[in-house]
Structures are given as structure tokens and as C-alpha cells.
Structure 1
Amino acid sequence: MSFRNKLIEHTRRDLRRLEDKTRRPATWVGMLFYGGTLGLLFVVPIVAGAYLGRWLDTLAAGYSVRWTVSLIVLGIVLGAYNVFRFLQEKS
């Protein structure tokens, strides 16, 4: 069997595998990972904003939550944008 015939046979096998994979429904493990990814994309910017905001508020004189609230809101917006882009890329 020549190199060209082997290459063609391997390519056909890979195409059959891809077609079979697209026909099968998603498994619960795959859906769990997908949901976990979406959750992390949304939650990580919020938590990072909260920690950074709290640290910045401790540097200011007196009691203030201005940075904390502002960066949490920014984290929500950024997390929603991350999820939107991820879903847009996957479809």
C-alpha cells in the first residue's frame, strides 16, 4: 500500500469519525464541562473585581465600598461579555 493510499484511507476514517460524532447527542459529562466553562467565564471576573475593589477600598481613608461595588459591576459586564463571545464562537 502506497503512502498516498494510506493517507486517503486515514482521511476517510477521520471523516467517518467526525460525522459519527456530530450525529451523536452530547453526553452529560460534556454538558457538565460546557456549563462549568460558562460558569467560570462569568464568575471569575466578578470575584476578581470584588477582591481588587476591596483592596483598593482599604487603601482609601475612611469606610468606602466605592471601588468594590464599581468593580463588581464591571466584573458582571465583563463576565456577560465573555459568555456571549464564547457562545457566539461555538455556534
Structure 2
Amino acid sequence: MTTPNDRHWHRSTLREVRRAVRAQRERQGLIGQSLYLGTLGLVFVLPVVAATYIGLWIDEKLPGYSVRGTLSGIVAGIAIGALNVYLIIRERP
């Protein structure tokens, strides 16, 4: 004969086992985490570098713009890179 405590213990144990199995399946390894962080780094750095070079090119083409284009490119690149990182993190389950 089973008592209410036995049934409660069985349900709670079963729930814990299911949670542990789900966590094991969803756990990423070291390589997966490294790839994710590398991707975040690239989607942040590439817009910064691209916008900086565009700003530098603008500075070289237009007289009187010594560093305004480069600084504007850096600021714009940081903003775009931060937005990219935010969007990628938001999409991850």
C-alpha cells in the first residue's frame, strides 16, 4: 500500500529527473560557448572597423575634416555593433 508521502516523493523525484535530463540535453559544451562568444565578438567588431575605415576615407576625401569622420565612424560602429549583439542575444532561447 502506498501512502500520500510515497506518491509525493515519487512525483517530486520524477520531476527532478526530467529537469536534470532536459538540462543535460540543452547544455552547451565549451566549444559551443566559445563559438557563440566568438560570433558576438565578430558582430560587434566588424561594424566598428568598417565604419572607422569609412570615416577615415571621408576624412581623406573632404578637406577640413581632420578627424570628424573617423570619430563619427567609431561612434556609429559601436552603436551598430551593440545593436547587433543585443539582437543576437535576444534571439537566443
Query: TM-score with structure 2 length normalisation?
Result: 0.70
Structure 2 residue aligned with 1:65, among 64, 67, 70? 67
Structure 1 residue aligned with 2:76, among 65, 70, 74? 74
Counterparts of 1:7-86 in structure 2, within 5 Å, are 23-62=25-64, 64-86=66-88
Distance 1:23 1:33 in 2: 18
1:90 paired residue number: 92
Residue 25 of structure 1, CA deviation: 2.1
Q: Deviations over 1:45-74 (max 9, x none)?
A: 000011111011001224601011001101
Which stretch shows the higher mean deviation, 30-39 or 54-63? 54-63
Q: Which runs of 5+ in 1 are unaligned?
A: 1-18
1:12 paired residue number: none
Distance 1:24 1:42 in 2: 26
Aligned length: 73
Distance 1:80 1:40 in 2: 11
2:8 paired residue number: none
- The share of aligned pairs that are identical, in percent, is 45
Q: Which has the larger radius of gyration?
A: 2
Q: Which runs of 5+ in 2 are unaligned?
A: 1-20
Query: TM-score with structure 1 length normalisation?
Result: 0.71
2:4 paired residue number: none
